Structure 1
Amino acid sequence: MSIKMKKNLCVLIVLTLLVSACEKMVVNDEDGTNDANVMLRIVSYEQASFPAKTKGSIEDVCSRLCFHIYNDVGERVAYVNQKVDGDGFGNAYFTLERGHYYLIVVGHSASNNPSFSKNERVSISGSDLGDTFWCARDLEIGDEAVVEDLTLNRIVSRINIIPVDKAPAEMNQMIFSYKGSKGTFDGLTGYGSTNTNQTVVQDVNSADKQFGFYMIPSAEKDSIDLAIRTYSVNEKGSATPLTEKKISRLPVQRNSVTVCKGNLFDNESSEMLVEIIVRIDDEWGPDIDFPF
């Protein structure tokens, strides 16, 4: 083989490797201008946001959308991340080879996008977790173009604490502690996938009438043991403990608000009234009282 032929062969091999590398991951192909064979459209979300009782568009509840596609061995092969102020929010386009894939879509309003790891595991920063929507779908790619109209479902539970007693005047920090899942979930089921000690730290004011946080339940009917501690934190960051309240077997379920009412600051083991408000298909379900 001549030196010239060897050089040409080397160039051909390099070009082949580059093309193969480019085919492994499709990123931010949002405009559909590259002959995409998969089009995804968010057409609705199943429930309206917790504060509201009326249904609107996806822009009303999410400022970011993440479309991620995995192959059968749990490897991510393509994705599109969108912001609400970008063009085509709610529509995503992909070019995929024939075969079977798993689609995971997450709608959220966090400051950063979730991390998507192998085996369809999704993690949202705990401090960033808010109202979160999700869907998963099987995609079978053949000769014909695929168009999927998607509905997102809420996967978080909101815990609201409403004290009926007076807070310490010097209180300026509240810490919620429990064991369970916070912002990490199985992308194929939408349920929490960790069972570890969680801490939610919030700056509060003694005049506040309600406190709370979001979490992702690990099962359809889940429960947590919740500890609520309050502190007075000075300018140097030194914290003085004030009160502590523990609530056992607190029921949580996705697409619901668990409301706890009672004496929060008395440092006693008196019970708090717990009720669950369930949001399903834009109709409020009955309240569920849970004395404990």
Structure 2
Amino acid sequence: MTTNDIRSEFIPIGDHQLCLHHYPTTTPEPTTVVLLFHGFLAHGLYPTVKYAAQVLQKQNLRVLSYDMQGHGRSEGLSGYLPSAEAVVQEAVAVTQYVQNKYLPKKFFLVGSSMGGAIALGVSQQISVTGGVILLAPMLQLSVSSFEQVVLQGLAAVLPTLSCIPSKSTSADLQYRDPAKRQECEDDPLVPKTNTIRVGSANTCVQLTKRVSAVAPTAPLLILLADEDVIVQNEGAERLFAAAECPDKTLKRYPGALHGLLCETRPLLDQIEHDLVEWVQARL
């Protein structure tokens, strides 16, 4: 499957036209729908999303993803996320659009990195009949209390200024497979920068604090990379421990980097197997 096989449309969400991607289905009318959420500075066809989508669409599921505002082909200032509230409510609106369009019997939310935090935030507002899958979720960042105060102050006066250095822009720290790493580096829709906007950095911090305070009640799968240096796994571990749902699973992958679906084989085979097995058991 190539990106030419994926149908994309623009839908009005709030003040922006967002790009929604429909991955090809292997059955005429799938009754199960999966909506994927991408990470910061990525988009709905980025390798960390695309490869997860390809694995899932082979299971007779309808798989969709979208570009957040300021990301990919969607409208908005490049790389700018105005607030945690705006990001979550935008995601809720997209989720409702997809649910109303397809009326699925089973519905799954899948999020990678920051997309994991967003998927979690959506699940706190909308009933999820299938489950919530978090891939290396951004639920805790290495930002001190003092740094958070400074960041909030800067965001109040210079929200769009791009000056915050970030490891999240480094492909070498995220993707093990050389070909997929190169694919990420060559992606024309990803900003080529080593800094991020002040307001976006503050939004990421506030988003992790907001969503990690409430554990989901839907079936939960968390996949963690043991060598992740982009997010701190302690946040996901706390969420898992606090989740009161009887159906919850956490899997760790020694040697894995942040971009789990961009690992090399045989580790990638295990990650894909665990993802498919968990979903199939809940159809």
Tell me the TM-score normalised to structure 2 length. Answer: 0.28
- Greater RCO between the two (CA within 8 Å, min separation 6)? 2
**Which structure is higher in strand share?**
1
**Which one has a larger percent helix, Structure 1 or Structure 2?**
2
